[in-house]
Structures are given as C-alpha cells and as structure tokens.
Structure 1
Amino acid sequence: MNPTGLDFPPLIAAFVFGLMGGAHCIGMCGGIMSALTFAVPPSMRRPARMGGLLLSYNLGRITSYMAAGTLVAAFGTLISLSPLARLILQGLAALMLILMALYIANWWKGLLRVEAVGKRLWRHLEPVGRRLMPVVHFPQAFALGAIWGWLPCGLVYSMLAWSLAIAQPLQGALLMGAFGLGTLPALLATGLAAHKLSHLIRHPATRTLAALTIIAFALWQLWTLNAHLGGHDHVPSHSDSQPHSHSHTNH
C-alpha cells in the first residue's frame, strides 16, 4: 500500500485541488494581493518589476506551505507508529478533502470553522508582515509572502491533513508545493484575465464539477483503506502459526 493510500499520482491530484480552489483563493487572497501591490511605492510599479514582486510573494507563500507540510508530516511519523493509527490518519485526510469539496461547491461552509485554529498564530504574524512594508526588494517580497502563507485557510488545512496522513516529511513538502503551484494561476492573473478566470472558477457548474471530483478522490481513498482493513480481518491464531505434522513422537 502506498503511503497516501492512493493508486494514482498524489502530486497531480494536489495540483488539481489547488487549481479548483482558485475561487476561494481569489475571494480570500485577492484583497491581500491588491494590498501587496499598493505596498510597492508608485514610482516602482513598472510591469516587469511588479510581475517579479508578485512571483516573489507567491514563492514565499508556497515555501511556507511546504515548510508546514514538512512539519505536520514529521509529526505524523510520531503518531502513526502503529498500522491502525496510520489508517485513522488517512481516514481523517479523506474526511478533510470531503469538507473541502463541500466548501468549494457552496454546499456547506463548515470548513470555515477549521480556520479558527490558525487565527491565534496569525495575530502574532500579521504585525511582522506590516513591518516589511513598503516593499522595494524581491527578498522583502519573498519574506512577506512567507508570512502570508500562514494565513488561516481551510483549504490549506485540508491539504495539511493529507500531509499528516502521509507521515513522510519530504512527500508532505512536495504535496503542499504541488497544491501551492495549483493556486498560482488564480493569484497571478491580473486585469481582464483575472475577471474571466474568476467568473469561470466561480460558476456553479465549475464548482460542482470540482467538488464532485474531490469527493470521488476522497471516496476512492476511503475504499482503498477499507480494502486494506479487509485484508487484515483474519488474525492467525497461535495454533495456525504452528507447522502441522502427521508424525508421532516416539517414547
């Protein structure tokens, strides 16, 4: 059984989830992107430079996602020492993916309650980010983006639950990196392209298709877990483990 409990490339799936979560990204982070743009002095808002700064912001954000993925996956190695614990974590990851799907489709907003988990940390990080403004250098933009990456986000937490279930730090980092790359198109698009992209992503049909795809993915994960459990229903008894012999002991 592979570490994710899945039979197809998890990094591709994570990228697609990030892409499908674009509506949430535009709604939640679009204002942040605008604020970061205005954090650049007017005299330095040349198109090429702004493009580099926006890319730096997002690289910092994705780096934070990967750091978080590494940390939670490392923690997963400590709490998944038994096969049963590993299966429970994978079941939790599938549940979080279903909550993500319900949120994307606007069927249920319960995932927003999960965001409350990170609000305390964000209260300490936000003032640090403000000290980095105005942004005039690319390293400064990267650092500000890295802080932005810890903004409470239910979609990010869903992916972190998956990283926790993987319980392999490198794979957890790569999973979060793939998810972050998937969110890039929505956050890098500007002007008319952003308007068209936002309209497409927010369309009910698009959101429903995205949600059904994620639910199918999560149900497939649960099915593989069930199959794995089914393969361990029979526990050999002590007598089963003894070799059978038809010979008689001579006295």
Structure 2
Amino acid sequence: MSESVLVTALIVGLLGGVHCLGMCGGVVGALTFGLKADIQRSRFRMLKFQLAYNLGRILSYALIGAFFGFLGSGLMTLDGLLPIQVSLQMLAGLLMVALGLYLGGWWNGIVVIERFGQSLWEKLKPKVQKYSMVENYTQAWIYGFLWGWLPCGLVYSMLIMAMSSGGLLDGALIMLFFGLGTLPNLLLMGVFAFYFTRLARAVWVRRIAGLTVALFGLWELYSALALRVN
C-alpha cells in the first residue's frame, strides 16, 4: 500500500469532518453539556474528556478497517487480485463522489447507504445511552468506542477503500488515518460546540469540502481505471 492512500484517507477525514459536525454534532454537544459543571468550566479538562471519546471512536474505526481489510484479502485470493481490487477501488471512488455531492448539498443519495447501518445502531443504542452520563475517562473511552458504530456514509466509503487494500493491517491503517483526519473537527466541536455548529452549517464550507471530497473520489476512479488498463 502506497503512502498516498493513507494521505488520502487523512485528508478525506479532515474535509469530511463537515459531515461529522452535522451528523455527530448532537452527540458531541450532548457529551459536552452532559459533563459535570466543574469539568465544563475547565477547557483543559473538557479537552481531555473529548480526547478519550475520540480515541475510543478511532480505535473502533481501526478494528472495523482491519476486519474489512481481512475480508478483502479473502476475496482477492478467490478470483485473482487485480479484478476485485479494481472493482473495490472504483466502488470506493463512486461512494466518495456521492459523499462529496451530499456534503455540498447537491445530492442526498448517500443517505440511503447510511440506512443499512441503522439496525446495528438500534442494537447498540441502549448500551451507548448507558454511558451517556460520563464521570471518568474510562466511561468516555467506552462511549467513544460505541459511538464509532454510528451509521455514516463517510465511514462506509472509507471501509470500501480499506477492503480494497487487501490486507488486515492495511485496512486498519487506512481507517486509523481517516479517524485521525476527523479528530481536529470533532475535538474543536467538543470544546467550542456553539461556534463550530454554526460554521459546519455554512453553505460555502460544505460546498468547498464537498467539491474536494468528490475530486478525491474521481481520482480514485481514475487510479482504478489506470490500474485496469495497465
């Protein structure tokens, strides 16, 4: 796996953070304002709790990425590496284009994909609510780990990329870098909740992020087609 794939995952996570702020803003806000008053008064203590949430979330991404990478490696040994790798890479590119269109407010088709994860989330929801009143870092970490399973088209598109990597470790690394890319937005959202909620709803922010993610998707499609030709 080339370093450019990890860089792509990192940048998509950073730009897709606009989607994270919109979709997870309620979760982050609830976590922020659900903390004890003395914690809320200290930006430093609140930041440490937000780090615990997000480290748990990123770990869940890495574990899911490892699983999908393992699945991809199994598929590639069945029918040969190249055809399946190209197909998965093209699918990842198409999903990223669809996500970019969604972020920019031009097309909402990606929402249909998110519905596939609703059944799993409904099973996890009672466990997540159990940890909603966070009092220590361990509870925050567990909450974040469960939060990582929230249905999300952005995550699903990156999981296809992890599957196309064809390896357990590569899949985990792709999702790890993607999760690290989402970290700045959600950390800032947690500490400065009101300001970043307004920023995420700004049309120009969403359109710039959407256009950039869509371009990354087109690049993935081009790379897959070039791989097929060669």
**TM-score greater than 0.5 by the shorter chain:** yes
Shift of 1:225: 2.5
Once residues 191 and 163 of structure 1 are traced to their aligned partners in structure 2, the CA distance between those partners, rounded to angstroms, is: 28
**What displacement does 1:18 show?**
1.4
> 2:115 aligns to what?
116
C-alpha distance in 2, partners of 1:78/1:201? Answer: 39
Larger radius of gyration: 1
Return the offset for 1:144.
0.6
Larger % of helix: which?
2
> Any gaps of 5 or more consecutive residues in structure 2?
none
The verdict on how the C-alpha distance between 1:111 and 1:218 changes in structure 2, with shifts beyond 3 A counting, is same
**Matched positions, count:** 226
Q: Give the aligned partner of residue 171 of structure 2.
A: 172
CA pair 192-32 structure 1, distance change in 2 beyond 3 A? closer
**Structure 1 unpaired stretches of 5+:** 232-251
Kindly indicate whether residue 6 of structure 2 is the aligned counterpart of residue 18 of structure 1.
no
> What is the TM-score with the length of structure 1 in the denominator?
0.81
Q: What is the distance in 1 between the residues matched to 2:85 and 2:8? A: 20
The residue type paired with residue 74 of structure 2 is L
Q: Which stretches of structure 1, 4 residues or longer, exceed 6 Å deviation after superposition? A: none
Question: 1 or 2 for the larger relative contact order (CA 8 Å, sep ≥6)?
Answer: 2
Contact 2:113 2:153 in 1 (8 A): yes
Does the Cα contact within 8 Å between 1:20 and 1:207 map onto a contact in 2? no
Moved more, 196-205 or 180-189: 196-205
Q: Which amino acid aligns with 1:34?
A: G
Determine the structure 2 residue equivalent to 1:61: 57
| Percent identity for Structure 1 against Structure 2 | 40
Structure 1 stretch displaced more, 190-199 or 73-82: 190-199
CA contact (8 A) 2:62 2:172 kept: yes
Distance 2:167 2:199 in 1: 35
CA RMSD of aligned residues (A): 2.2
Q: 1:228 to 1:200 in 2, by over 3 A?
A: same
Q: What TM-score does the superposition give when structure 2 sets the normalisation length?
A: 0.88
CA contact 1:186–1:194 (8 Å) conserved in 2: no
Name the aligned partner's letter for residue 32 of structure 2.
Answer: T
Q: Give the aligned partner of residue 29 of structure 1.
A: 24
Distance apart, 1:207 and its partner CA? 3.0
Question: Using the alignment, how far apart are the partners of 1:190 and 1:98 within structure 2?
Answer: 25
Contact 2:22 / 2:201 at 8 angstroms: preserved in 1? no
Change (3 A) 1:199 1:77: same
